[in-house]
């Protein structure tokens, strides 16, 4: 059913469910077009609910076959049903059994929610509200049930049958060619964690022995013929399971843990209890097909979904407003895991880049919302960077504020106290307040108040007194529905650096406290810290490790920044100083000023000394701030072409200035060893690619020659794609040849072709629009597959700033047309694509007008899905 506007759901309207469903027994006969679902529920009134309420179950596009209560088949006058719901008016007993038979057509399910087909297999996706597309149910996360699932299918159609929990029985149905499997999950769970898989899959499995000695079979199942590419995912799973034991004391709790990779998936992956279902992009990897970034992504997503077993499944959310309870916390946990497995500073820099590009952008525009929203129309639109990434930052700040020991005690208390429940943010924070003895009332504001706080710092050195007065102030700009903002609790980790790079001792007058780790808590609009006992003017290094998700405005001059870039003991701020210097060069170029070269000199110095000690870090240093970073800094009347040109000019100048260093690095970092995706080799390749990119900007001829050689010689996807990414920016025969070679080599590998689609969609040239229209007709492209859409249209809209924001508005029209064409088929993916317009209001007037017109055209279209209608409506508010 398609509606124009869905009703608003409000947190303040939450009330306990009137009924509970303790057990669910499903008997599902899989069929490509007519799957029969027989569901038995044991229902009872919730003591906390209304005593006389009818039973109201949700459905979505369901065909009802029968309803039976306590063994008696109900007649049509005894209930009300349509495809969207089923109501038993009563009077109803305190407890009763209910049997519902429904029919669903998985082949017709293009929304990829509920039961659908992918690559010839059956799979499900139930978060947030997909279970109601399988049977009528109390489809809300605070209804927890024990599930038993019997699956039946033709053996030839689906030799493998998986569901949540442990396998209890399997067998043939003699004489029918059919077989069955019965799965039982003893852990009560909400319906959004239900899953089943049926089909022909290749399996890679091993035994995992938990800390207490329990044996678990862990398995990764992939589409037939792809088993060699499953090994890294299985390895990442084993490491994740061990890490959660050692770091958080969390053990796995079933006999099996299954991961299934499917090629059609709306999101990254899903944490269904004991049966994670993944977008195969986050499972499949080999040196020939996956980049180091892909390997890192697999490691992260495997860990993320596994960690949900405790933070999400054992403890779930009371309602969808609490989504950050599981997502923010689980992102924090996966970030910590990757930091432990790889380089902590480099991971932090990468995470902050994502936070700024995604979350800061979202938070500065019409789609801004609190980490715990108070209202929604379509919950699918709240799986956002704010809920996930800013949600993780809140957990990280909590740990800085109370310290790691109290944080761990708080987590232990949370696991002990909330296990088996559907919890809230208040429950979560309560555990940390208790464990630390601190009042977290003010801190809780981070969940309520949207927008990115701006922290402004200014300092005064008094040589005679040997003091440095640092004044910090905070302000948060208004966001939709929140015109005025209160001060937040902002942990600011800081240090003082002397001109020659020494860390200066920290002593303050007693009004302000800076603890031994350099932590100062800014919890009012303004504060002043007076540092004493100084014998030289200090350079303040503020917000070390990016200790809070804020924008920092400081008055450091270029010389101060060079000091931090050279000497800051905090790697994040060392990197940040380089980024700030580069930003200043780009902003100067936009004003037509000549380029100051102190940064080039400092970078040259860095490349010859520190860079080789930590190549992964050096690669981050070499990557200039993105066009989106610069746009965010400017904040209004954005002309993406002007930003692009200025950034390119700076990149060219730096590339030319540093050519000898870069050429030397690029040569020295070549390796003849066999490919390994470990941190050290990943760092080396990252720096090699970054050096190539910069040197090609400085000298296109030399760059194209080196890139072509790297492309031809590479024995791994990271270097091959790194070279191709440089070549696509240089028009000419070398580019055309490389693109054709790549397509021929990987013509049968859709995930690799996605990289080819994405690179071309990102080319900052006028011709890209026509190129995209042509690529959309490529045989490997399909509007039915979310990965293809994201690769082609998503990359264009999200990364190609000059062409999406063409002055003639054709980039906006292309995305608007695509959103409308996609909406009938897959509203979730369509709505996500439309969020590319989220910063339209800060554009210069001509582009702003064109973007608004495209958005209005979408919003005015009849029969929009609630998903697209919600994004279009809020974007225009
Ligand atoms: N819960 C999933 C995760 O973050 C994301 C997801 C949401 C997947 C909704 C599918 C649908 O791990
Ligand atoms: Zn998650």
Query: What does residue 732 show for φ and ψ, rounded to 5 degrees?
Result: 140, -175
| Eight-state DSSP code of residue 556 | -
pLDDT tens digits, 818-853: 999 999 999 999 999 999 999 999 999 999 999 999
454-546 to CATH, choices 3.40.50.150, 2.60.40.1840, 3.40.109.10, 3.30.420.40? 2.60.40.1840
Q: Ligand 1 atom 2: the closest Cα is on which residue?
A: 270
The contacts found for 728-736 with CB under 8 angstroms, 24 or more apart, are: 728/759, 728/760, 728/762, 728/763, 729/696, 729/763, 729/764, 730/696, 730/700, 730/703, 730/704, 731/765, 732/704, 734/704, 734/707, 734/708
**Which pLDDT score is estimated for 595?**
62
Distance 334 CA to ligand 2 centre (A): 10
CATH architecture of 316-448: Orthogonal Bundle (1.10)
Flag whether the pTM goes above 0.95. yes
| Ligand in nearest proximity to the CA of 334 | 2
pLDDT tens digits, 350-407: 999 999 999 999 999 999 999 999 999 999 999 999 999 999 999 999 999 999 999 9
- Which is the closest atom of ligand 1 to the Cα of 265? 10
Instruction: For the chain, give every domain's residue range.
Output: 9-199, 316-448, 454-546, 556-698, 751-877
Q: Ligand 1 atom 11: the closest Cα is on which residue?
A: 127
Q: Which fold has domain 556-698?
A: Zincin-like fold (1.25.50)
| Ligand in nearest proximity to the CA of 327 | 2
Ligand 1 mutation target, pool 268, 303, 382, 388, most atoms within 8 A of CB: 268
692, 719 in Cβ contact below 8 A?
no
- Distance, CA of 327 to CA of 331 (rounded, Å): 6
Give Dmax over CA atoms of the chain in angstroms: 98
851, 836 in Cβ contact below 8 A?
no
pLDDT tens digits, 147-163: 999 999 999 999 999 99
ipTM over 0.85: yes
Q: Is the peptide bond before 295 cis (omega within 30 degrees of 0)?
A: no
- Which is the closest atom of ligand 1 to the Cα of 304? 12
**Which pLDDT score is estimated for 522?**
98
One fold for 9-199 and 751-877: no
1 has pLDDT over 60: no
Ligand 1 surroundings by CB, under 6 angstroms: 125, 127-128, 266-267, 269-271, 304-305, 308, 327, 383
pLDDT tens digits, 262-290: 999 999 999 999 999 999 999 999 999 99
200, 158 in Cβ contact below 8 A?
yes
Q: Ligand 1 atom 5: the closest Cα is on which residue?
A: 270
- In order of 35, 157, 199, 790, the CA distances from 179 in angstroms are 15, 10, 12, 38
**Which pLDDT score is estimated for 713?**
97
Q: Ligand 1 atom 7: the closest Cα is on which residue?
A: 127
- Average pLDDT (177-201) is 99
Taking alpha carbons only, the member of 693, 723, 728 closest to residue 710 is 723
- Distance, CA of 44 to CA of 783 (rounded, Å): 44
775, 761 in Cβ contact below 8 A?
yes
651 has pLDDT over 80: yes
What is the CB neighbour count within 10 angstroms for residue 354?
12
- Which is the closest atom of ligand 1 to the Cα of 130? 11
| Ligand in nearest proximity to the CA of 383 | 1
pLDDT tens digits, 456-469: 999 999 999 999 99
What is the CB neighbour count within 10 angstroms for residue 72?
10
- Which is the closest atom of ligand 1 to the Cα of 308? 12
% of the chain exceeding 90 in pLDDT? 97
pLDDT tens digits, 677-722: 999 999 999 999 999 999 999 999 999 999 999 999 999 999 999 9
- Distance, CA of 723 to CA of 291 (rounded, Å): 12
| Ligand in nearest proximity to the CA of 279 | 1
CATH class held by domain 751-877:
mainly alpha
- Average pLDDT (413-428) is 99
% of the chain exceeding 70 in pLDDT? 99
pLDDT tens digits, 762-807: 999 999 999 999 999 999 999 999 999 999 999 999 999 999 999 9
Distance 423 CA to ligand 2 centre (A): 16
CATH class held by domain 9-199:
mainly beta
- Distance, CA of 721 to CA of 333 (rounded, Å): 30
pLDDT tens digits, 545-570: 999 999 999 999 999 999 999 999 99
- Distance, CA of 407 to CA of 704 (rounded, Å): 51
**Which pLDDT score is estimated for 601?**
94
Distance 307 CA to ligand 2 centre (A): 9
Ligand 1 mutation target, pool 313, 383, 831, most atoms within 8 A of CB: 383
What is the CB neighbour count within 10 angstroms for residue 317?
23
**Which pLDDT score is estimated for 4?**
53
- The sign one gets for the Cα dihedral 401, 404, 407, 409 is negative
Apex CA 434: angle with CA 429 and CA 437, to 5°? 110
Distance 834 CA to ligand 1 centre (A): 19
| Ligand in nearest proximity to the CA of 269 | 1
Do β-strands 72-73 and 19-29 pair in parallel, antiparallel, or remain unpaired?
A: unpaired
Letter string b/e over residues 579-601, b meaning 16 or more CB atoms within 10 A of that residue's CB = bbbbbbbbbebbeeeebeeebbe
pLDDT tens digits, 485-515: 999 999 999 999 999 999 999 999 977 799 9
The contacts found for 553-562 with CB under 8 angstroms, 24 or more apart, are: 553/454, 553/455, 553/456, 553/457, 554/456, 554/457, 554/458, 555/457, 555/458, 555/459, 556/580, 558/584, 558/596, 558/598, 558/599, 559/598, 562/598, 562/599, 562/602
Close Cβ partners of 260 (under 8 Å, ≥ 6 residues apart): 123, 162, 197, 201, 220, 221, 222, 275, 276, 277, 278
**Residue ranges with strand state E in 443-525:** 454-462, 467-475, 490-493, 495-497, 503-504, 519-522
Catalytic one of 127, 152, 271, 305: 305
Q: Ligand 1 atom 3: the closest Cα is on which residue?
A: 270
DSSP codes joined into one string, 787-816: HHHIIIIIHHHHH-HHHHT-TTSHHHHHHH
Distance 326 CA to ligand 2 centre (A): 7
DSSP codes joined into one string, 121-163: EEEEE-TTTTGGGTS-B--STT--EEEEEEEEEETTT-SEEEE
- Distance, CA of 343 to CA of 399 (rounded, Å): 20
Residue 194's pLDDT band, with cuts at 50, 70 and 90, is very high
Ligand 1 mutation target, pool 240, 259, 269, most atoms within 8 A of CB: 269
Distance 232 CA to ligand 1 centre (A): 21
Distance 277 CA to ligand 1 centre (A): 10
- Which is the closest atom of ligand 1 to the Cα of 327? 4
> First and final CA of the chain: distance in angstroms?
25
Distance 162 CA to ligand 1 centre (A): 19
Q: Ligand 1 atom 9: the closest Cα is on which residue?
A: 127
Q: What is the dihedral of CA 161, 164, 165, 170, to 10 degrees?
A: -20
Residue 611's pLDDT band, with cuts at 50, 70 and 90, is confident
**Which pLDDT score is estimated for 63?**
98
Protein residues placing their CB within 5 Å of the ion ligand 2: 327, 330
**Residue ranges with strand state E in 318-384:** 375-376
Residue 2's pLDDT band, with cuts at 50, 70 and 90, is very low
- Distance, CA of 436 to CA of 414 (rounded, Å): 13
pLDDT tens digits, 89-114: 979 999 999 999 999 999 999 999 99
Residue 597's pLDDT band, with cuts at 50, 70 and 90, is low
Distance 266 CA to ligand 1 centre (A): 9
Average pLDDT score over the chain: 97
Residue 259's pLDDT band, with cuts at 50, 70 and 90, is very high
Taking alpha carbons only, the member of 25, 118, 41 closest to residue 86 is 41
Is residue 774 flagged as an active site residue?
Answer: no
- Which is the closest atom of ligand 1 to the Cα of 128? 9
- Distance, CA of 308 to CA of 329 (rounded, Å): 9
- Which is the closest atom of ligand 1 to the Cα of 380? 9
- Which residues lie across from 466 on neighbouring strands? none
Q: Ligand 1 atom 1: the closest Cα is on which residue?
A: 270
Residue 434 CA, chain-centre distance (Å), reads: 31
What is the CB neighbour count within 10 angstroms for residue 426?
14
Q: Ligand 1 atom 12: the closest Cα is on which residue?
A: 270
């Amino acid at each position: 059913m398609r509606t124009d506007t869905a009703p608003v759901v409000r947190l303040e309207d939450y009330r306990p469910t009137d009924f509970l469903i303790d057990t669910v027994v499903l008997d599902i006969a899989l069929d490509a077009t007519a799957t029969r679902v027989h569901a038995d529920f044991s229902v009872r009134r919730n003591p906390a609910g209304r005593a006389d309420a009818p039973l109201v179950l949700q459905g979505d596009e369901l065909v009802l076959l029968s309803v039976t209560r306590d063994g008696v088949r109900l007649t049509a006058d005894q209930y009300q049903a349509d495809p969207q719901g089923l109501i038993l008016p009563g009077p109803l007993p305190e407890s009763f059994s209910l049997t519902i038979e429904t029919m669903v057509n998985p082949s017709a399910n293009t929304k990829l929610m509920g039961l659908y087909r992918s690559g010839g297999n059956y799979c499900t996706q139930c978060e947030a509200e997909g279970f109601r597309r399988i049977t009528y149910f109390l489809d809300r996360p605070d209804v927890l049930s024990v599930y038993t699932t019997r699956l039946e299918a033709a053996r030839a159609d689906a030799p493998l049958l998986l569901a949540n929990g442990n396998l209890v029985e399997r067998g043939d149905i003699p004489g029918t060619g059919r077989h069955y499997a019965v799965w039982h999950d003893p852990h009560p769970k909400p319906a959004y964690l239900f899953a089943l898989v049926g089909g022909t899959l290749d399996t890679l499995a091993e035994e995992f022995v938990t800390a207490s000695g329990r044996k678990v079979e862990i398995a990764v199942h992939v589409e037939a013929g792809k088993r060699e590419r499953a090994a890294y995912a299985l390895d990442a799973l084993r490491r994740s399971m061990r890490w959660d034991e050692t770091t958080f004391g969390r053990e796995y709790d079933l006999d099996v843990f299954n991961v299934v990779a499917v090629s059609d998936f709306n999101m990254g992956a899903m944490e269904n209890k004991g049966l994670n279902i993944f977008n195969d992009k986050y499972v499949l990897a080999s040196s020939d097909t996956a980049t180091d970034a892909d390997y890192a992504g697999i490691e992260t997503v495997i860990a993320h979904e596994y960690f949900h077993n405790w933070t999400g499944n054992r403890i779930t959310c009371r309602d969808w407003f609490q989504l950050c309870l599981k997502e923010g916390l689980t992102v924090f946990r996966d970030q910590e895991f990757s930091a432990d497995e790889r380089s902590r500073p480099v991971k932090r820099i990468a995470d902050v880049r994502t936070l700024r590009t995604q979350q800061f952008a979202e938070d500065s525009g019409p789609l801004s919302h609190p980490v715990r929203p108070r209202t929604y129309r379509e919950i699918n639109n709240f799986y956002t960077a704010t809920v996930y990434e800013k949600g993780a930052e809140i957990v990280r700040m909590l740990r800085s504020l109370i310290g790691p020991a109290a944080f761990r005690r708080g987590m232990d208390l949370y696991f002990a106290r909330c296990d088996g429940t559907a919890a809230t943010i208040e429950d979560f924070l309560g555990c940390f307040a208790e464990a630390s003895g601190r009042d977290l009332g003010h801190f809780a504001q981070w969940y309520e108040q949207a927008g990115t706080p701006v922290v402004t710092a200014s300092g005064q050195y008094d040589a005679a007194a040997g003091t440095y007065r640092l004044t910090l102030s905070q302000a948060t700009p208004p966001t939709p529905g929140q015109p005025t903002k209160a001060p937040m609790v902002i942990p600011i980790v800081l240090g003082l650096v002397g001109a020659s790079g020494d860390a200066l001792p920290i002593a303050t007058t007693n009004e302000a406290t800076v603890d031994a780790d350099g932590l100062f808590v800014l919890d009012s609009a303004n504060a002043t810290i007076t540092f004493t006992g100084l014998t030289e003017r200090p350079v303040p290094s503020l917000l070390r490790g990016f200790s809070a998700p804020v924008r920092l405005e400081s008055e450091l001059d270029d010389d101060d920044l060079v000091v931090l870039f050279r000497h800051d003991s905090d790697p994040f701020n060392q990197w940040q100083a380089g980024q700030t210097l580069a930003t200043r060069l780009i902003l100067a170029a936009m004003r037509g000023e000549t380029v100051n070269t102190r940064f080039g000199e400092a970078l040259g110095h860095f490349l010859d000394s520190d860079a080789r000690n930590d190549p992964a870090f050096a690669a981050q240093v070499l990557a200039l701030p993105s066009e989106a970073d610069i746009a965010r800094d400017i904040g209004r009347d954005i002309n993406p072409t002007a930003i692009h040109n200025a950034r390119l000019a700076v990149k060219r100048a730096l590339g030319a200035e540093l050519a000898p260093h870069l050429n030397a690095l690029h040569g020295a970092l070549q390796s003849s060893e066999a490919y390994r995706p470990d941190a050290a080799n990943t760092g080396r390749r990252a720096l090699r690619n970054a050096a190539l990119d910069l040197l090609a900007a400085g000298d296109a001829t030399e760059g194209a020659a080196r890139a072509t050689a790297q492309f031809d010689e590479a024995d791994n996807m990271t270097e091959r794609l790194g070279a191709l990414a440089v070549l696509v920016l240089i028009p000419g025969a070398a580019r055309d040849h490389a693109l054709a070679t790549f397509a021929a080599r990987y013509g049968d590998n859709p995930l690799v072709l996605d990289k080819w689609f994405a690179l071309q969609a990102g080319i900052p040239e006028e011709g890209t629009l026509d190129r995209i229209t042509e690529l959309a007709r490529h045989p490997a492209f399909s509007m039915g597959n979310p990965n293809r859409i994201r690769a082609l249209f998503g990359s264009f809209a999200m990364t190609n700033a000059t062409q999406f924001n063409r002055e003639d508005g054709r980039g906006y029209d292309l995305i608007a047309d695509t959103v409308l064409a996609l909406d009938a088929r897959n509203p979730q993916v369509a709505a996500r694509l439309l969020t590319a317009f989220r910063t339209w209001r800060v554009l210069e007037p001509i582009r702003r007008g064109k973007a608004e017109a495209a958005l209005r055209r979408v919003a005015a279209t009849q029969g929009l899905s609630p998903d697209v209608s919600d994004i279009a409506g809020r974007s225009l508010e």
